[in-house]
Structure 1
């Protein structure tokens, strides 16, 4: 049951980018490794730029194909899931990355393919 359309995804992108930049400060990430805070903020900035450049509803410049955006999201999800193991994040730092990574992968996996229309 895939229900996340391109339009829905475009509306999720901006709040997610802002959350990736703000939540580390709100939650006090970085207790087990300061990289936990820095990596999320950097990813949020990159996500904002990616969203601005994506060819979807709310893209401003529409340079990057939507499939490329989905590929980048998939990579971020995978990297967020493995990051706590690689950098030895513990506690809230680790849970934050695992939850965000799993959520991103879930959204991508629930993406509803677009139906080609003939003109």
Structure 2
């Protein structure tokens, strides 16, 4: 089994689904009990995910300005930021858990994503 089985195309689908979850999830879960910033950090991040996805060079990107490797680097930056959000904003309970869980999910998605498409290396069986 390949460790990096998530193609850039499938990663794009995950990106847009994650954006919707980041925007709607905080309202469904009632985030903000320990600090209202918990809700708004998630919503702003979700909107940013949409903007970055639209600007990424992959199937579901529109403007294709950001190379896919740069997109993955931004994902890692967001995951790392999510690990610090509970400390920086003194989040507790569900508010803190929400950001820790999201960080782990983003780290996993990046770890499971192939950074190049098979077309990048014709004749290669690496992908």
Name the TM-score, length of structure 1 as normaliser: 0.94
Q: Following the alignment from structure 1 to structure 2, what is the Cα–Cα distance between the partners of residues 60 and 41? A: 22
In the TM superposition, residue 82 of structure 1 has moved relative to its aligned partner by: 1.6
CA distance in 1, matches of 2:60, 2:4: 21
- Which range moves more in the overlay, 71-80 or 108-117? 108-117
In the TM superposition, residue 79 of structure 1 has moved relative to its aligned partner by 0.7
In the alignment, the residues of structure 1 paired with residue 82 and residue 65 of structure 2 have an alpha-carbon distance, to the nearest angstrom, of 25
Structure 1 stretch displaced more, 7-16 or 40-49: 7-16
Residue aligning to 1:90: 92
User: Which residue is 1:21 aligned to?
Assistant: 23
- Could you list the runs of 5+ residues in structure 2 that have no partner in the other structure? none
Aligned to 1:113: 115
Return the offset for 1:46: 0.5
Correspondence 1:99 to 2:101:
yes
CA contact 2:68–2:115 (8 Å) conserved in 1: no
1:88, distance to aligned residue in structure 2 (A): 1.1
- Which of these residues, 48, 56, 59, is aligned with residue 57 of structure 1? 59
Cα-Cα RMSD: 1.4
Q: Which has the larger radius of gyration?
A: 2
Residue 118 of structure 1, CA deviation: 4.7
Number of aligned residues: 119
Shift of 1:113: 3.4
Other-structure match for 1:76 = 78
Where structure 1 has 5 or more consecutive residues not aligned to the other structure, the ranges are: none
1:44 alignment partner, one of 28, 43, 46: 46
